[in-house]
Chain A
Amino acid sequence: MNAVSILFGKLLIIFSRFLNIGTGSTWPGHIALALNSDFIKEILKQNSIEIILVAGTNGKTTTARLIQRILEKNNKKVFQNSEGANLLNGIASSLIQIATLSGKINKDFAIFEIDENTLPLILKEVNNPDFIIILNLFRDQLDRYGEVNTIANSWNESFRGLNDKTILILNADDPQVAFLGKSRRNILYFGIDAIENKSDKPQHASDSTYCPNCQEKLTYYSIYFSHLGDWACGKCHFGHPKKVFTSSPTYPISGTYNLYNINAAVLFAKSLGLTNEQITSSLKDFRPAFGRQEILSVNGKKIKILLSKNPTGLNESLKTISGLNAKNVLLILNDRIPDGRDISWIWDVDFEDFSSEFKIITISGDRAFDMGLRLKYAEIKNFQTEENLLKAINFAIDKTPQKETLYILPTYSAMLEARKILTGKKIL
């Protein structure tokens, strides 16, 4: 039965590539699961692959890519579910793509990027994965997922079924993520350095400032961004874990959030016994995934894309480009299903902190005028709105002086669209 699914799925993948209708990263899996709901479980059982699950609101793609790079450079055979295909059907599709007709997979490691809501489902399919890496939990796509606490609760619930074989790699600075490790064994914590990253004020996008253990308001000794920081509960004394890995031997990409992604990936590598030298040399020339600080060049002008799909993400992108002395910015706000249809999150972004930072701001996307309104209320005046993305991109590039960089901050579907325009290629 599974052989039929695999064969059919593989044909579907070839077909869709041939016809250029996307890479077929979800449909084959969708069909395989419809024919056999245990497809994922059975294929994985048949093979002895070490399984790494990477979950969290922001940073999954970058972290998975870092891990893949480290493993491959150290002679391990690795495969991964494709970008954006992080629901069950995407994971099944990745198995179809890589397996022989008999279901054999000739790889050492599987890295699965998992969507927040899919994590409990995938834990049912993969009984005890070897590693689970949890990066963070922020507000994202409220229309699809409901609230952060609901997700945290369902994670907690599903983690109860895990045995101690699974190594949990958790973000110590995120209270709800750290809480997942409470009274469990085999946990490694990562975080970032408290002194170097201290910020003075809490951001509006802050999501979880109540104790996950007893609901009391948490005390923060320092906040790095959003609700990430050095926290403790004054009532039940549940607090920030003590032993936390914060210092990777190398940081190949910039941005505070990338400190977390890198520390998580490196902590994983260290748990396999890799040395600092091995890790550093494998991450030399590491290039981020598309749309994540990816650099393109058009008409001799540099364009840097920073995917910014939720309040925390956009706050961090603004901080990062402001640190890079950005002058030319293009904001693109779409409200399609992959972006989340509810765009009210833009009002939780601290644009006020950047009111006189940028020289020329262009705004585009399905909800360009809503973004314009947001900037208006942040007392930002030097912006232009253009709903048509092609026109907006041309305008923004045109206004960017030679030798300067245009920074594009798009939501997810906007990132794919902008990239397609800029590179002339369709990617998903």
Chain B
Amino acid sequence: MFQKRCEGRRIKLEIIKLNVGFTDTDLKKCNLLFMGGAQDKQQQIAAFDLMKKKKILREIIENGTPGLYVCGAYQFLGEYYKDADGTVIKGLGILDLYTENPGVNFSRLIGNCSVKMADGSTIVGFENHGGRTFLGKQVKPLGKIMKGFGNNGRDGTEGAVYKNSFGTYLHGPILPKNPVFADNLIKIALEKKYGVSPAINLSPLDDSLEKKARNAIANRLGVKL
């Protein structure tokens, strides 16, 4: 997704897959980070590895390196995750938030959803999570949930923003259907890398199919884009 949107603007981009066992140098090379969730078992293995690199990851995030962290990765950046059976799993503690799964008697938060962002734009996606996330004072919500559940199904927030790091429950996946959001991450990465200001303007791409896909889901949710 990032690759295609960069190619369209002749921006050279290299994707480095940081698999279990990656080095600090690999991580420092990156101008934009993306981390997704996985099944519990796979996630535990990745989490164990990431714990060892907590310090450097914190440095990078504090530095303002942009990143997108979805679902399990979003939860893992927080203080802790309390399992359905009450076990507390320590998070990386980089973002001021925590997540608790209320137990097997509570249903997962599942469905199509839309989020109103601070700049007035709307992102759409699909959420599917058992954990309920609560934000602390150091982070801002990514946006206001219009349709769906968001962070916890109670306080109307969805996701979290800290410096240039974005955490969210939306997949679906989030980037192809929200090209403005994707472009924003590319912009921040470029500005950060080249230290340019005023802001970079990316040349427009043909997003007509993206618009149709967004409209289809917005119509179903009964929201305006």
Give A contacts to B, CB under 8 Å: 142-143, 146-150, 207, 210, 215, 217, 341-344, 347, 366-370, 372-374, 376-377, 385, 387
- Answer whether residue B126 sits at the interface, using C-beta atoms and an 8 A cutoff: yes
Contact A347 B173 (CB under 8 A): yes
Residues in B with CB closer than 8 Å to A217 are: 45
Known: A347-B173, A377-B176. 14 other contacts (CB 8 A): A143-B110, A146-B108, A147-B40, A148-B39, A150-B40, A210-B41, A215-B41, A215-B45, A341-B111, A343-B126, A367-B216, A370-B213, A372-B209, A373-B213
- Report the minimal beta-carbon distance from A242 to chain B, rounded to whole angstroms: 26
Could you jot down 16 A-B contacts, CB within 8 Å? A143-B111, A143-B128, A146-B108, A150-B40, A210-B42, A215-B41, A341-B126, A344-B126, A344-B173, A367-B213, A369-B216, A370-B213, A372-B213, A373-B176, A373-B177, A387-B216
Contact B111 A369 (CB under 8 A): no
- Cα A387 to Cα B219 in complex, Å, equals 14
Within 8 A of A (CB), among B91-144: 108, 110-112, 126, 128
- Cα A343 to Cα B176 in complex, Å, equals 13
Interface size on B, residues (CB 8 A): 24
Residues in B with CB closer than 8 Å to A344 are: 126, 171-173
Contacts A369-B213, A373-B176, A373-B213: A149 and B41 contacting too (C-beta < 8 A)? yes
CB-contact partner of A373 in B108, B111, B210, under 8 A: B210
Residues in B with CB closer than 8 Å to A215 are: 41, 44-45
Contact B126 A342 (CB under 8 A): yes
Q: Nearest residue in B to A152 (C-beta to C-beta)? A: B41
Residues in A with CB closer than 8 Å to B44 are: 215
Residues in A with CB closer than 8 Å to B216 are: 366-370, 387
Contact A341 B112 (CB under 8 A): yes
- Report the minimal beta-carbon distance from A147 to chain B, rounded to whole angstroms: 4
- Report the minimal beta-carbon distance from A371 to chain B, rounded to whole angstroms: 9
- Cα A387 to Cα B212 in complex, Å, equals 11
- Answer whether residue B1 sits at the interface, using C-beta atoms and an 8 A cutoff: yes
CB-contact partner of B209 in A149, A347, A369, under 8 A: A369
Residues in B with CB closer than 8 Å to A385 are: 209, 212
- Cα A140 to Cα B173 in complex, Å, equals 16
- Cα A367 to Cα B125 in complex, Å, equals 13
